Amino acid sequence: MKQSVGLFRSAPENTIQGSPSFLLQRKMKLMARQLRHSVARCAGWRPCAGLRQRKTSLFHSFVTERMAVMVIEAGISSRSANSHLSCTTVHSLEDAMRLMSGWRLELMQMSPGRIEYSLSALQVGPIQIFREKTDKMLLKRGLSWSGSLVFSLAVNAEGTGWLSGHEVDPEISLIVDGQRLPEILTPRALDLVYIAVDRQWLASRVADRGYGQLAEQIRSCSSIALWHDRGARLDRLFTCLFEDGPCVSAAQAEVSPDLSLVESLVLDHLVAALTSTHKVEPMRETSNKQLIDRARVLLMENTTEPPTVAEVATHLGISRRHLQTCFNRSVGLSATEFVRAERLNRVRQALCDARREGRVVSIGDVAAAWGFWHLSRFAADYRDMFGELPSETLRSSDKNTPWRLNRTSTSQNG
């Protein structure tokens, strides 16, 4: 893929004092200066001549660094009075798919074991912000809402992820058209922040800040990978939005929760992220990925009597070994492992839907509908994949609470 360096840089943004990172730091320092005395009074500080040395300097640095966190926490702590700023957390893939307003997303667990998963969602004006944590490999595909642009940034990743047939570099972030989300196979452990924002709204706000060239690029870009300058620390604000712990309330800090202020800070960080790149590449599917996608359609076409991998390879005019190699080089799994995991997830989704809707279903019938005819072998494969038996998934549990409640827990496995 052809490398394009500095795609999002315009002339004013290449100057140190004109860069969004510099302007963001300057804005935070000015805002910290305004907040310092009110926060100091809350903390019991009494500034005087004798303290205008090291302690005052250290306290000013602390407020400068933590200003954005405190403003956001103040807004979140008073969300009962301001319905526009609220955080919701769920702990199952099924609830996560329903939580994401305007999205049509499929989430499937692709590595075995009981999953530890969470998805937190925060609405900041017109900006959707999500933080996702998982300790198992996930298959993610689908669409965001029309007109959206999605920016994603890995806070932490362990293992290999796959995107468009390529191994994912954990150092990159992605910006993609919400209607053209690429299929992703995540690393086995992942802490991810991603943001969905209206493309035209973002372009307009960026233009208002004097970055006309960047605004035009936002209006026209499709799907690209970004490598950021070292030390950018782009995850600081986004992760603090979801951190638990002591909060400084609006009343204590004598600061009114200002949603437009939080929105502005998020926007500033997005602009800084888009202009701190040293390498940019378009995302294109590999020929191996295109081939296995054709194979997957055939393998999933007849759910009750699925064809074998060898039969599909013959239909495609290639050897079984070559097809297996394409799978391994595109998703890190063999064709058999990949298709079995997808079929098991389809069974699980059907059982979770039946449980949620209060319908009585036969586990054997649901399994057979997805090609699992040997029930004891199916039950063993299901337990290996999800850490529980199909009957446990189907059984109601008192620990399941409504997914819509703020900061509550649901079943770890749906």
With both helix axes pointing from N to C terminus, report the angle between 199-208 and 212-220 in degrees, rounded to the nearest 10: 170
**What average pLDDT does range 301-317 have in this prediction?**
91
3-class DSSP assignment, residue 405: coil
C-alpha to C-alpha distance for 267 and 220, rounded to whole angstroms: 19
**53 three-class SS:** coil
Confidence of residue 90 (pLDDT cuts 50, 70, 90): very high
Q: What is the pLDDT of residue 222?
A: 82
For residue 11, count CB atoms less than 10 angstroms from its CB and return exposed for 0-12, middle for 13-18, buried for 19 or more.
Answer: exposed
E strands, 268-308, are 277-282
pLDDT band at 288 (very low <50, low <70, confident <90, very high): very high
Statement: residue 195 has pLDDT above 70: yes
- Kindly report, residue by residue over 4-46, the tens digit of the pLDDT: 334 444 434 433 345 554 555 555 555 545 444 444 444 444 4
- What would the pLDDT profile of 242-287 be if each residue is shown by its tens digit? 764 333 333 333 333 455 777 888 888 888 888 877 778 888 899 9
CATH class of 287-394: mainly alpha
What is the pTM for the complete model shown? 0.75
Mean pLDDT across the chain, nearest whole number? Answer: 77
pLDDT for position 77? 44
Mean pLDDT of 128-139: 95
**How is the chain split into domains, by residue range?**
1-85+125-285, 287-394
Over range 191-197, report the average pLDDT: 93
d(CA 252, CA 41): 9
Residue 335 has pLDDT above 50, yes or no: yes
How far is 133 from 120, CA to CA, in rounded Å?
A: 9
List Cα–Cα distances, 261 to 69, 146, 273, in angstroms.
12, 26, 18
